[in-house]
Each structure stands twice: as C-alpha cells, then as structure tokens.
C-alpha cells in the first residue's frame, strides 16, 4: 500500500511538471505587449514573460518515468527558474537638495534591483528633474505613439523645493520608469539605457583618462551589473566597459583580475571578430597569459588567423581605445 501511494504521488508530480513545461512555452505577442499606456500616477500593469526573454523549455530535459521523486522535484524547480523573466524594479526612496553657486536643484536617488529574489547587487544612481525631462524629450522623438498618453510632471514657477512637490515627483518618476521599462522597445533603446548608465560611465572614463584607475575601476564595477541587465539581448554592448575594467586592473598591476574580465569580453566577441575591440583585446590577453604563465598559444593562433583575413591597418591598443570612449 505504501509503495502504491509513493507511485501515485510520483505520477501526480510528473503530470504537474508536464503541465508547467507545456504552459511555459506560451507568451504574449509583441502587439499585446505594446498595449500598456497609462498616466504616470497609475499602477503599471504586470508584464507577461516575453518569448525572447525566456528560455525554450523544450531544450531542457523532459521528465520521464525513470526519474525519482527527488529528481522530478529538482526538474520542476529548474523549469520554474528558467521560465521566470528577469525584471527590474525601480524605487526612489529619498532626495537631496543641491545648491551650487547660483543654481539649486533636487537630486532623486534611484535604486534599481532585480525582482523575484534578494538582490545583493542593486544599483544606485542619482538624477535630477532636468535629466528626466531630457529623457522624455528624447524618447518622444522616437516613441511618440507609445508615449502619447503619458503625462510628464511639469515645472512649476514656485514651490519646487517644498516637501509636497518633491514627494509627488518621487512617486511620479518611479511610476514613469516602471512604465518605460514595461515597454520592450523603449527599455532596449539606447536613449533609455544611456539615461541609467551614461553619467556614471562618463565619470569613470574621465577618471581613466586622468590616470585615476582605482576610482575608475570602482565606478565601472558598480555600473557593469546594471549594464548587463539592461542589455541582456545584446551581450556585445558591454564589451567596451569590460575592456575598460581590464585596462584598469592591468595598470593597477592586477593581471589575474584583468585576465578574468578579458575572458568575459572575449567570450562575447567569439562571433564578432570584426569588432574594433577584438584584436586589441587579443593582444592584451596574450600578454596577460604570458605574464600569468597561462596557455597563450590558442590566443596567438586566433590573432594570426584574424591578421590573415584583414587588411593591414592601424589598430589602436586596448588602452587607446578605452580612453576614447565617452569623450565629450
């Protein structure tokens, strides 16, 4: 009797897993996803997982009768984890008033973290009203139809620094960011990503050009996680930042760390050998591998193969490329 109960429970779990695996392959169309248009102050509707943001469950191991109950439970957990879309949550918990010479403005502290689990790598940035205003103006040039029903907080002649106005704008900007992120084409746009990362990257590259490698590295390591989350569909987009981290580690005489980040960058360029960073990165990785006593012959072969396919042209070093990024 006990054995029959065990088999029955196993069959029920198997059927449940099969239903989860089948239902996880369905996703809304792009047309449905682009529907949400609302006032900033309204609650943003929860977006369904997208087809291109989830992994195809058919590519994973299918449950079968030879699995034990424990194996079936582990399979179910893996399926659920893979089908769960990574989403970002925006919070604006506080503000500060900045007075600089003849100007005075409010800085809004924005915390960006991943939903669904404890996020120890949350990103923290600060933006002022004029930054949000510029973002909205830039987005209207490209996404006027998507934003036609969005009301942006207007400037007031007086009272901009009162607690009431500041609190209203905190809530408005939080809902505004959530709404933008809910629209696939906007959250993937360069204008939206630049709003969240460009000021920090400009500061980091400014430090790099000034030889302040420790400060530059500190900022780059903070922003790289956010960049990765924002550009999940375009892994090559973070190659310049990864290479800048390599340069900083190398100049700070941390060859092992430089090599680690160089491998991450190189893995993103394996099918993009025409990328401007590919050859300089290879040259740097060969030097680092030699210094660390690692195998550099495979890297050398890739470099020679690249040279035979390309016309001999002047190529910048990795550091020369890095210092040219984000030059105003």
Query: What CATH number is attached to the domain comprising 254?
Result: 1.25.40.10
Three-state DSSP at 13 gives helix
Q: What is the average pLDDT value for the chain, to the nearest integer?
A: 80
Whether residues 142 and 174 share a domain: the answer is yes
- 281-305 pLDDT tens trace: 999 999 999 999 999 999 999 999 8
Band (pLDDT 50/70/90 cuts) for residue 32 is very low
CATH number (domain holding residue 101): 3.30.1520.10
In the chain the first and final C-alpha atoms are separated, in Å, by 77
* Domain end residue (candidates: 126, 153, 188): 188
Q: Vertex 324, ends 320 and 325: CA angle to 5°?
A: 125
Whether residues 215 and 272 share a domain: the answer is yes
| Percentage, residues of the chain above pLDDT 70 | 71
- 149-194 pLDDT tens trace: 888 988 877 778 899 999 999 999 999 999 999 999 999 999 999 9
Full domain range(s) for residue 109:
87-188
- Does residue 96 have a pLDDT over 70? yes
Whether residues 229 and 294 share a domain: the answer is yes
Q: What is the pTM of this model?
A: 0.73
pLDDT of residue 186: 95
What average pLDDT score do residues 100-121 get?
A: 84
Whether residues 176 and 253 share a domain: the answer is no
Report the alpha-carbon distance of residue 15 to residue 268 in Å, rounded: 39
- Name the nearest CA neighbour of 228 among 267, 285, 255: 267
pLDDT of residue 232: 85
Sheet of strand 123-128: strand arrangement: 88-100, 103-114, 123-128
> Does a structural domain hold residue 27?
no
Q: Vertex 14, ends 9 and 16: CA angle to 5°?
A: 95
> Does a structural domain hold residue 290?
yes
* Domain end residue (candidates: 188, 223, 254): 188
* Domain end residue (candidates: 155, 188, 221): 188
Whether residues 216 and 159 share a domain: the answer is no
Whether residues 171 and 216 share a domain: the answer is no
pLDDT of residue 48: 42
pLDDT of residue 27: 41
Whether residues 218 and 176 share a domain: the answer is no
> Does a structural domain hold residue 278?
yes
Domain count, the chain: 2
């Amino acid at each position: 009797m006990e054995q029959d109960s065990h088999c029955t429970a196993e069959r029920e779990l198997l059927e449940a897993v099969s239903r989860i695996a089948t239902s996880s392959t369905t996703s809304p169309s792009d047309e449905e996803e682009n529907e949400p248009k609302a006032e900033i102050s309204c609650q943003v509707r929860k977006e369904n997982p997208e087809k291109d943001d989830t992994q195809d469950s058919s590519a994973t191991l299918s449950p079968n009768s030879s699995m034990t109950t424990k194996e079936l439970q582990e399979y179910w957990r893996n399926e659920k984890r893979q089908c769960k879309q990574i989403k970002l949550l925006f919070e604006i918990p506080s503000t500060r008033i900045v007075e600089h010479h003849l100007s005075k403005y409010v800085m809004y502290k924005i915390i960006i973290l991943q939903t669904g689990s404890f996020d120890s790598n949350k990103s923290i940035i600060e933006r002022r009203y004029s930054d949000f205003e510029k973002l909205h103006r830039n987005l209207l040039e490209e996404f006027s139809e998507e934003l036609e029903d969005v009301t942006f907080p207007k400037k007031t002649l007086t009272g901009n620094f009162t607690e009431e106005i500041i609190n209203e704008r905190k809530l408005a900007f939080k809902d505004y960011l959530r709404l933008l992120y809910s629209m696939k084409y906007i959250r993937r746009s360069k204008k939206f990503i630049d709003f969240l990362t460009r000021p920090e990257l400009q500061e980091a590259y400014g430090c790099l050009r000034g030889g302040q490698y420790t400060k530059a590295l500190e900022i780059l390591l903070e922003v790289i996680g956010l960049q990765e989350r924002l550009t999940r569909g375009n892994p090559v987009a973070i190659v310049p930042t990864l290479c800048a981290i390599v340069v900083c580690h190398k100049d700070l005489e941390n060859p092992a760390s430089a090599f680690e980040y160089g491998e991450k960058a190189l893995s993103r360029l394996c099918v993009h050998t025409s990328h401007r960073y590919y050859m300089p990165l290879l040259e740097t990785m060969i030097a680092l591998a030699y210094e660390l006593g690692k195998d550099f012959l495979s890297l050398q072969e890739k470099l020679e193969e690249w040279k035979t396919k390309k016309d001999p042209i002047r190529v910048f070093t990795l550091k020369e490329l890095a210092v040219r990024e984000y030059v105003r």
